[in-house]
């Protein structure tokens, strides 16, 4: 596995995704929907940030145990 591929996956995870009340968070690497929430701090100024971990076996982020940030507005 190349260092560039790993760096790209890490950047996508840190960049974050939009949280949808309907679909949850989508893994930015493999596209899995409703990836499980691992942490959900309280709303802060109209913004809700959650942290997720993809569980798809073939997903690079899942293999690395890398969390994904999601953001939801009011």
49, containing H or E segment? strand 47-53
- Residue 37 half-sphere exposure toward CB, CA atoms < 13 A: 14
- Sorted by where each begins, the domain ranges of the chain are 3-73
Flag the least confident range among 4-8, 18-22, 65-69, 70-74.
Answer: 70-74
Q: What is the pLDDT of residue 60?
A: 93
pLDDT digits (tens, 9 = 90+) for 31-74: 999 999 999 998 888 899 999 999 999 999 999 999 999 999 65
Per the rule left: phi > 0, alpha: psi between -120 and 50, beta: everything else, 60 is alpha
Sign, Cα dihedral of 7, 44, 70, 67? positive
Q: Which two tokens stand for residue 51?
A: 């942290």
């Amino acid at each position: 596995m190349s260092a560039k591929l790993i760096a790209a996956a890490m950047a996508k995870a840190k960049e974050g995704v939009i949280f949808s009340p309907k679909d949850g968070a989508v893994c930015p690497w493999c596209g899995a929907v409703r990836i499980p929430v691992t942490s959900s701090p309280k709303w802060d100024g109209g913004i809700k940030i959650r942290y997720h971990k993809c569980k798809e076996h073939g997903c690079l982020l899942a293999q690395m145990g890398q969390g994904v940030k999601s953001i939801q507005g009011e």
